[in-house]
Structures are given as C-alpha cells and as structure tokens.
C-alpha cells in the first residue's frame, strides 16, 4: 500500500515539487535541532561525589533538578541556590552534599542533628558550640570524618581553686605554782586555736569533680598556747574536812605530858612553871620535839591513824631530855587526857605556812 501511496504522489506531483517538499522537511528537522541546541543548557550535578552530566531545558537550578528527578533535603548542601538561573553558554556545575544524622552529646544532653560537614570539628562549629580552652573530645578527634549515626561527645572541663580552712590546735603549757595545792590547776591564759587555709585545684568534667590536687597552705591565724599552772604544795584533808598544806611528812611516836610537877619538875609557884623552852606558855597545841628533827617554832599538824581523833594543829615550842629522834611529846591540859593518850604512832606534817618564829604568850598554834 505504501508503494501505491508513493506512486500516487508521483502521479499527482511533478518531480520538481517533490524535491522541494523533501528539502523543506530536512530543513524543518535541522531547524528544530538547532533551536533545541540553542535553548538547552549543559549541567553537571555532583551528588555526594557522583557526577551526572546532562542537558536540560530548565531555566533554574530547581527546574533542572526536578527534570532530573533529584531532590534536595533542607539540611543538604547545595552549591547554588535553587532559584539560580542557569548559564546557557557554559557548563553549570552543581554540587550536592547529603546530610547524615549525628548525635551531639554536650552539657549533659544528647541531641540528633543533620549535618553535611566533613569533620567532627566542623559539625561542632556548625551547631554553635564553642569549646573552652580545657574542653576536650571523648572517643573522637576533631579531624575525624563524619559518619552517619556517630556520637560526638564534647566534655566540658573546668578548673577551680578551692580554699579550705583547718584549725591548728593550741598546745598546753604547764608551769608549777608553789603557792597552790597539789592537785589544783588554774588556767592563766586561755588557749586559742589557729587557722590555716589549704588550697586545692579541683578539676570538673561535665560538672562532676574528678580530681583534687593540693597546691599550698597559708596560716591566717597563729594558735595561742594555753598556760595552765598546777599546784605543788602537798596537802591532805583532815578528819574535820580542812585542807592541810604541808612540805614534809614524818612518821613518829608520840607521848603526852602536862605542866604538873611529875612531868616538868616544877611546882605552880615556880617562876618557870608552865613556860616552854621557847618562852611561851603551855597549852594544848604545844608539843616538845627534838630540834634536830623538827626545828623549834615549826608549825605542824599531828594526825592519828585510825578512828581516834587527831591531836591537830600544833607548834614545836618545847624540848625534853627524853625527847630524841622521831619522838614528840604532846601537851594536854589534864592528867586524864595525858594518861589516856599513852604512846601512839602518829604522822606529823610540817605545815606549808610558817609564821614568825619569835613566839609570844598569846600565840595560837592552831591559827
């Protein structure tokens, strides 16, 4: 049938007209090609490093990518804005870098971001994170390449100088006091603790202290010693509850005497009757001693061990021919008391306080 159609054309059209029609068809095709070539643009798209070269009738970057069925996400990198008009006279190179999910862990929080950046450092900077001088990365390095799903942990590091106060205990200085009783103490100067400051460097990572290093210390207040005096005077509490202060204790034998003729060889009319060797009148509280053992004029206290009452305070004011060594003779006002006394073991305390040894008649040995 095709042959019949061509034969029909030949019959109805002269040969010249047929040649003209053919020429017009060829021209139309060529003109169309030339027109297409004149309005198409050359484009090269590098999608994550994979190049694609094409011609497009699109006027803008967006139209060209749409015709190539290439979509770009909000976080992806595009080297030209989508509304950029393509250059028809040169190759239009468009670069696309695809963003990948990255987990950022910083300041106690973890968040996922999309990033097309190449290195860890660039991702951190892209998200407005400023690292301090001491901050560091954990598990990654700043120049590590970014991979999908990786965790970038930035550790915040802070140093702090901490001052801690510490007491300096005061010491106690003891000194004897020869006027105080043994066993007694007195605070003369109250002690005060001193204070020193110790300085430490504390390092925190993400707000948690991880190290504490001692630096130095400084005394800001000196300690003040406490001065305590202690008594050195020997003493005891007698049967009446009085505190008796003494310098020496003697274990002795004690006899008793009166002013009677039997004991002294003097009658009441004798001018020396009732007068002791030291010149004072006898009375209870006067004792005879051996001056080599207890000097005359010495005040003493005579203690009787056991349940019997003490003879008490006395003064060594008399002597006797039989009173030698550790033997004393106690004066009593009545023969009955002297006889009931007999001979006993006593303790004689030489008293701490001794008055003037120039005795008078009105001296009271018990004062």
Residue, of 361 and 10, whose pLDDT is higher: 10
Instruction: At 330, list the tokens.
Output: 């106690």
Query: Cα separation of 170 and 192, whole Å?
Result: 6
Q: Tell me, yes or no, whether 247 and 343 share the same domain.
A: yes
Distance CA 56, CA 35 (A): 13
- Where do we find the tokens 């015709």? 67
**Co-location of 255 and 337 in the same domain:** yes
Task: Estimate to the nearest angstrom the gap between the alpha carbon of 164 and the chain centroid.
Answer: 5
- The more confidently predicted of residues 25 and 90 is 90
Instruction: Give the angle 73-79-81 at the CA atoms, nearest 5°.
Output: 70
Buried b or exposed e, range 310-333, using 16+ CB within 10 angstroms: bbbbbbbbbbbeebeeebbbbbbe
CATH number of domain containing 151: 3.10.20.90
**Is the predicted pLDDT of residue 24 greater than 70, yes or no?**
no
Assigned domain for 361 exists: no
- Asked whether residue 366 is assigned to any structural domain, the reply reads no
Q: Is the pLDDT of residue 109 over 80?
A: yes
For the stretch 10-48, what's the b/e string if a residue is b when 16 or more beta carbons lie within 10 angstroms of its beta carbon? eeeeeeeeeeeeeeeeeeeeeeeeeeeeeeebbbebebe
Q: Structurally, how many domains does the chain consist of?
A: 5
Confidence of residue 294 (pLDDT cuts 50, 70, 90): very high
pLDDT digit string, tens, across residues 125-138:
999 999 999 999 99
Confidence of residue 240 (pLDDT cuts 50, 70, 90): confident
Q: Do 63 and 143 belong to one domain?
A: no
User: Is 124 within a domain?
Assistant: yes
In this predicted structure, the answer to whether residue 32 has a pLDDT above a threshold of 90 is no
List 166's β-bridge partners, or say none: 196
Q: Do 274 and 323 belong together in one domain?
A: yes
The answer to whether residue 211 sits within a structural domain is yes
pLDDT at 231 exceeding the cut of 80 = yes
Of 12 and 154, the one with more pLDDT: 154
Q: pLDDT class for 12, splitting at 50, 70, 90?
A: low
Which residues 6+ apart lie within 8 Å of 275 measured at CB?
281, 282
Domain boundary residue, one of 97, 119, 142 = 97
Residue 356 has pLDDT above 90, yes or no: no
Residue 361 has pLDDT above 60, yes or no: no
Domain housing 173: 161-230
What integer pLDDT is reported at residue 186 of this predicted model? 95
Q: How confident is the model at residue 35 (pLDDT cuts 50, 70, 90)?
A: very low
φ/ψ of 169, rounded to 5, equals -60, 140
Same-domain pairing of 92 and 115: no
CATH of the domain at 347: 2.40.40.10
Q: Which residue has the higher pLDDT, 316 or 19?
A: 316
CA distance 346 to 302: 7
Of 155, 176, 196, which one is at a domain's C-terminal end?
Answer: 155
Q: Strand 100-106: give its sheet, edge to edge.
A: 109-115, 100-106, 151-155, 136-138
Average pLDDT score over the chain:
88
What is the pLDDT confidence band of residue 14, given thresholds at 50, 70 and 90?
A: low
267/172 same-domain check: no
pLDDT at residue 367 is higher than 70 = no
**Domain check: are 242 and 269 in the same one?**
yes
> Residue 362 domain-assigned?
no
In this structure, are 178 and 127 located in the same domain? no
Please state whether the predicted TM-score (pTM) of the whole model is above 0.85. Answer: no
Looking at 230, 250, 272, the residue that finishes a domain is 230
Whats the size of the chain, residue-wise? Answer: 367
Looking at the fold, whether 141 and 114 belong to one and the same domain comes out as yes
196 or 239: whose pLDDT is higher?
196
pLDDT beyond 80 at 362: no
Q: Using one digit for the tens of pLDDT, what is the confidence trace for 167-178? A: 999 999 999 999
- Look at 353 and 85; give whichever has higher pLDDT: 85
Residue 294: how many other CB atoms lie within 10 Å:
21
Give me the CATH number covering residue 65.
Answer: 3.10.20
Same domain, 309 and 258: yes
CATH number (domain holding residue 174): 2.20.230.10
Closest CA to 135 of 211, 207, 213: 207
Q: Are 133 and 144 members of one domain?
A: yes
Alpha helical stretches, state H, 260-307: 261-264
Residue 128 lies in a domain: yes
In this prediction, residues 96-117 reach a mean pLDDT of: 95
Q: What is the mean pLDDT of residues 71-82?
A: 94
Question: Residue 357 domain-assigned?
Answer: no
For residue 313, tell me if it sits in a domain. yes
Per-residue confidence (pLDDT) for residue 40, from 0 to 100: 81
User: Can you give the pLDDT at residue 161?
Assistant: 96
Does residue 333 share a domain with residue 269? yes
């Amino acid at each position: 049938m095709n042959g019949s159609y061509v034969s029909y054309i030949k019959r109805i059209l002269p040969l010249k007209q047929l040649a003209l029609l053919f020429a017009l068809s060829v021209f139309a095709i060529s003109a169309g090609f030339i027109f297409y070539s004149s309005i198409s643009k050359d484009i090269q798209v590098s999608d994550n490093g994979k190049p694609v070269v094409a011609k497009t009738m699109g006027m803008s970057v967006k139209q060209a990518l749409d015709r190539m069925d290439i979509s770009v996400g909000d976080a992806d990198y595009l080297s030209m804005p989508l509304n950029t008009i393509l250059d028809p006279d040169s190759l239009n190179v468009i670069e696309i870098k695809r963003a990948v999910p990255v987990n950022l862990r910083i300041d106690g929080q973890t968040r996922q971001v999309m990033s097309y950046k190449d290195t860890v450092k660039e991702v951190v900077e892209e998200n407005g994170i400023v690292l301090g001088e001491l901050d560091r990365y954990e598990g990654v390095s700043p120049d590590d390449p970014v991979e999908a799903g990786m965790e970038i942990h930035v550790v915040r590091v802070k140093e702090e100088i901490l001052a801690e106060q510490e007491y300096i205990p005061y010491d106690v200085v003891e000194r004897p006091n020869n006027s105080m009783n043994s066993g007694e103490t007195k605070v003369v100067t109250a002690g005060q603790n001193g204070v020193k400051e110790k300085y430490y460097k504390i390092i925190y990572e993400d707000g948690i202290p991880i190290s504490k290093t001692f630096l130095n210390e400084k005394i800001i207040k000196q300690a003040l010693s406490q001065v305590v005096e202690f008594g050195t005077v020997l003493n005891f509490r007698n049967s009446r509850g009085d505190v008796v202060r003494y310098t020496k204790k003697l274990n002795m034998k004690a006899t008793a005497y009166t002013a009677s003729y039997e004991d002294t060889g003097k009658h009441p009319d004798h001018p020396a009757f009732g007068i002791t060797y030291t010149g004072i009148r006898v009375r209870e509280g006067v004792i005879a001693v051996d001056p080599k053992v207890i000097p005359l004029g010495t005040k003493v206290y005579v203690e009787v061990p056991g349940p019997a009452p003490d003879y008490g305070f006395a003064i060594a004011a008399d002597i006797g021919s039989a009173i030698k060594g550790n033997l004393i003779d106690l004066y009593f006002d009545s023969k009955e008391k002297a006889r009931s006394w007999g001979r006993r073991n006593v303790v004689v305390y030489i008293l701490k306080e001794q008055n003037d040894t120039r005795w008078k008649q009105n001296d009271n040995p018990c004062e």
